[in-house]
Amino acid sequence: MKNVDDLIESAADLADRGLSGGEIADELNVSRETASWLVERGGAAVEPDRPDRPDGAQDIHVDWSAIGRDSKRLAAVASAMADLLSREGEDVDLTVGIEKAGAPIASLIARELETDLATYTPAKHRWEAESDIEELGGTFSRNFATIRGRTCYVVDDTITSGTTMRETIEAIRAEGGEPAACVVLADKQGVDELAGVPVYSLLQVISVRKGR
């Protein structure tokens, strides 16, 4: 995708296919507010799960599809992310990938670091028009490793606002696990830690606005 018009077209197509606002945000690597704004501009019918993007708000679209569509490239990037995590010591025995995009990266990192694998689906993927996100919460897949009593890494593709990563950290702790560190491809917030957990990123994407 080369410009905003491409994003608007993609958002409308995803909405027409039945994806929620949270899922559209994940697919386009933008905030939920921006996803709702893009869908509205595209004229698609979707229930916004956040207020409309306010005038003047800034967001950055990160397109890493050149990495994601090639298994060798993805494995190389995952190896670099694993190297960032390796400084945390040898007590970690679990890697948790945040669905959707964080899961395939986490599986490669888990192989590199020789840990078990778990996946977490955040609450935003379950939102419905009249549902309360705090009541729904996210879920850990039962097809992968359990969390209780484990020290783990948390993996996602991007940090936009930090809400999803913070939710995952809290969910891991609620399940009896302990996050040792988080890692992402790109961090739009430039954070060093979230909820007391260190955050590593291959790229920090910083918006520079003139006149402020």
What pLDDT, in 10s, does the model give residues 108-132?
A: 999 999 999 999 999 877 655 445 5
Is the separation of the CB atoms in 21 and 32 below 8 Å? yes
Residues 6+ apart with CB under 8 A from 179: 96, 151, 152, 153, 154, 168, 169, 172, 173, 197
Asked if pLDDT for residue 89 goes beyond 80, the answer is no
Helix, strand, coil tally for the chain in percent (to 5): 40, 20, 40
Beta strand 139-140 pairing with 116-121: antiparallel
As a whole number of angstroms, the distance between CA 77 and CA 61 comes to: 19
Strand partners, 36: none
As a whole number of angstroms, the distance between CA 90 and CA 86 comes to: 8
30-44, 64-78, 177-191: least confidently modelled range? 30-44
**Residue written as token pair 């935003």:** 124
Q: Which pLDDT score is estimated for 60?
A: 78
DSSP conformational letter for 116 = E
Greater confidence (110 vs 210) lies with 110
Q: Which pLDDT score is estimated for 58?
A: 65
As a whole number of angstroms, the distance between CA 63 and CA 3 comes to: 11
DSSP conformational letter for 98 = E
Percent of the chain with pLDDT over 70: 82
Strand partners, 197: 194
Convert the pLDDT of each residue in 13-53 to its tens digit. Answer: 877 877 777 777 767 767 777 777 777 777 754 444 444 44
Instruction: Report, as an integer, the average pLDDT of 95-115.
Output: 96
Greater confidence (158 vs 23) lies with 158
pLDDT band at 55 (very low <50, low <70, confident <90, very high): very low
As a whole number of angstroms, the distance between CA 176 and CA 155 comes to: 18
pTM: 0.74
